[in-house]
Amino acid sequence: MVLYLNYRVDKTFSIINHYGLINTPKNMKSTFTIIILLFCSCSLLAQNAVSTTMGKAILSHGSNSKIKAGKDTVIESDTTKENKEPQYFYLSVNTDVFVNTKGGVAKRFSPALEFGRTYGIFDIGLATGTTNSLSRGNDTAHYIEFRPTINIFSKGRFNEGLCLGGGYVFNAKQGLMTEICNSINFNVTTTVSVAVTQGYYFFDGTNSSRSTQYMGFSLTYNFLRAHSTNNRRKKAAIVSDN
């Protein structure tokens, strides 16, 4: 390229001198050639700088897009995981028997019904029943109880639940009732499950209090439609750990 520019400069000055337009000294020819070379060099450097800057900008934009896409993918994955938890209503029949206490079957037997809703591993239920099958004077045995339960372990069709409940025994001297229990559950199908329970009741009144231990059995029916999304999610949760 330098030889080409030098040739064009010589040609230009030859034409000018031939027609006598300008009397150019010899050193002017050299000066003019140097100026053109410097100008071309600066142009090439500027062009290379612009190309390098644009290349870095394109690469940077591509990298940012990948990082952002990866972050969005993680968020979408987490959201999808949360949405896979089944939600449905359930009804449980509980049959508890008090142990470590005196009395016959009528005094020990404590039946109850619980209706609630499941949110993945968390159940919120409302139970009603009797603390025994007998009434003592003005005291009654009927109660109502709020029973939240959380699934603390699961493996296939088996899971273990922990319940912390609180309620009220109507017209009883020891009216305030609290409960702590744990259960081992087995999912027969997506809609039917059975459980063995063990726990404690605590009864508190103004002048007295008592506690009692029980063992029990429960049968639960889940209100799930045959081909619903929650039914598929429930089935996936059972089968995935088998």
Q: Which residues pair with 215 in a beta bridge?
A: 97, 198
Retrieve residue 226's tokens. 């045959």
**CA 83/CA 32 separation, integer angstroms:** 77
Quick one: residue 225, left, alpha or beta (phi over 0 = left, psi -120 to 50 = alpha)?
A: beta
Total count of residues recorded for the chain: 242
Q: Is the pLDDT higher at 34 or at 179?
A: 179
Position 65 scores a pLDDT of 44
CB neighbourhood size of 110 (10 A): 21
pLDDT score recorded for residue 239: 77
pLDDT exceeds 50 at position 132: yes
CB 175 within 8 A of CB 168: yes
Q: What is the pLDDT of residues 107-118, one digit of tens each?
A: 889 999 999 999
pLDDT at site 188:
95
Q: What is the mean pLDDT of residues 193-222?
A: 95
Q: Is 61 helix (H, G, I), strand (E, B) or coil?
A: helix
Decide if domain 87-239 falls under CATH 2.40.160.20: yes
Question: Which residues share a beta bridge with 112?
Answer: 94, 129
Confidence tier at 84 by pLDDT (50, 70, 90): confident
| Model confidence pLDDT, tens digit, residues 51-65 | 555 555 555 555 444
Q: What is the mean pLDDT of the chain?
A: 77
- The pTM (predicted TM-score) of the whole model is 0.64
What are the distances in angstroms from CA 25 to CA 7, 10, 102, 114?
18, 13, 132, 113
Boundaries of every domain in the chain: 2-82, 87-239
Lowest mean per-residue pLDDT among 88-92, 100-104, 202-206: 100-104
